[in-house]
Amino acid sequence: MENNNTSMEPNNFPEENPELYEHYSFTVEKGQQPLRIDKYLMNFIENATRNKVQAAAKDGSIRVNGVPVKSNYKVKPFDEIKVLFEHPPYENLLVPEDIPIDIVYEDEHLLVVNKPAGMVVHPGHGNYSGTLINALTFHFDNLPNNSSDRPGLVHRIDKDTSGLLVVAKTENAMNHLSNQFAEKTSEREYIALVWGNVEEDEGTIEGNIGRHPKNRLQNTVFLDDDEDKGKPAVTHYKVLERFGYVTLVSCKLETGRTHQIRVHMKHIGHTLFNDERYGGEKILKGTTFTKYKQFVDNCFKVLPRQALHAKTLGFEHPETGKWMSFTTEMPEDMQQCIEKWQSYAKHQDNL
């Protein structure tokens, strides 16, 4: 008789604990090939390791269709996977922290913040402290919650993206500003350094964006038969400067999807420079010469993140109705990287 190591029998697991909190929930895509659940979850949970996933399975914390499974259980299409623990998700336990905030503008209704690269906007899996919201709740009392119960937050930018964010201080400001972002009347311009020579001087990228079916840590553009998946996204880009193997572009967002610029620019063949999550930390364009590789590695050291900065933010003030626009200088790491490429391009022109 065949020994099935992927048994879903709960006999060997700890006793059922009624006080369990759901931390993750996934439904397996219809096209998923059989894959061990520990490997599957590593693609879907940020900062997960094989050991952590296996330990959770051993404790009976991983359930498939309501039943605890071992770490070698093979997932199948439409499986309902839940990861449960005895403690509530850490992001629900918000602790105010005395972290300095670079405030560009403030009045009694709102503030505009210049977020440094490396700071997470709100607590989430693997980042439970040191976030912008931890800082905001220390410096400001009674910030209104948004629809996701995150105090003050109207919109967000990625951890390793620098630049401008508006924060609401009143319920009215929260509603008014959130509506502007939803109705696409706010203005957001980003500066990005991307791999390759962008041929068109300007253009528009359209394509629904949603979670990548095989890697939940990435988003992707859905095409053809899948184009109805995801959410509509529109990015307008304009070339600012060309350096041969990389291009400096301005991107204006019409919508605000997660990783939108990173996903859209990769979609047209121009992944952001040093964007590790989307493959931009590899040399995607250029020569095979060792000197060139050393030059690119030096650029990566100067700018150890994706080359993306939220430069301009514009919106209508929720009380006065006045149009407000803010611009921030390029951060030093990105500026240094761009200067290296400017120098490299000039040197190539002189050869």
- E strand or H helix at 313, and its extent? strand 308-316
User: Residue 101, CB half-sphere, CA atoms under 13 Å: how many?
Assistant: 27
Residue from 114, 106, 159 nearest 330 by CA: 114
Phi, psi for residue 95 in degrees, rounded to 5:
-110, 120
For residue 211, give both structure tokens. 């979670």
* β-pair type (187-195, 219-221): unpaired
CB contact set of 237 (below 8 Å; sequence gap of 6+): 198, 202, 203, 204, 205, 249, 250, 251, 252, 265
User: Distance (Å, rounded) from C-alpha 105 to C-alpha 90?
Assistant: 31
Catalytic residue among 38, 158, 160, 275: 158
303 with 331: CB under 8 angstroms?
A: no
Residue 349 among the catalytic residues: no
Residue type, 30: K
Q: How far is CA 223 from the centre of its chain?
A: 21
Tokens 């020579």 -> residue? 197
| Three-state secondary-structure class, residue 109 | coil
The residues annotated as belonging to the active site are 158
